[in-house]
Amino acid sequence: MFSQDELCMIYENLASLKEEEKYRMEPRTQPGLQIKSTIVQAINHFQGPCGLSSCTALEAFPEALELLEQVLIVFENGTVVIDCISLEAIAAPNINAISCFLDGYVHLIVGCERYEGSQQHSINTFCQR
């Protein structure tokens, strides 16, 4: 377990990484478009005819549809900012992502596995997993 002070320090260290060490997910370009497409597919799944899996999911998570719609809105309008970084850069055990709410925005920093090839290719490969 980490204290709040330790988590703040981890976040600040990661947020201060050089721009070239981070990849900002933009909702209007790839792979942000892939993320939005996946969310829209999930919304359509819940809004469609109630098959066994969607009925079971809605029973287990009755607010899932509303949550997915809200996630799509905040990602599109920039209220949530997502930066991908190398998983090795986090250097804290059992932490793969960290977030901070500041000035009305949520900044989410996500550790991604490193792949051979360009950074763009690496991010696209990560998003297809």
pTM: 0.77
- Whether 57 and 95 map to the same domain: the answer is no
- Whether 95 and 127 map to the same domain: the answer is yes
Pseudo-torsion of CA 44, 47, 52, 58, nearest 10°?
Answer: 110
Q: Which domain-ending residue is among 57, 77, 97?
A: 77
Percent residues over pLDDT 90 in the chain: 62
Q: Which domain-ending residue is among 77, 92, 117?
A: 77
**Where would I find the H helices in 1-129?**
4-15, 32-47, 52-60, 64-77, 87-90, 119-127
- Whether 88 and 113 map to the same domain: the answer is yes
- Whether 86 and 105 map to the same domain: the answer is yes
Q: pLDDT digits over 8-65, tens only?
A: 999 999 999 999 999 999 999 998 999 999 999 988 888 877 765 677 878 888 898 9
Confidence of residue 115 (pLDDT cuts 50, 70, 90): low
Residues 29 and 33: their CA atoms lie apart, in Å, by: 6
* Residues contacting 73, CB < 8 A, separation 6+: 79
Q: Which domain holds residue 8?
A: 1-26+78-129
In total, how many domains does the chain have? Answer: 2
Is the pLDDT at 126 greater than 70, yes or no?
A: no
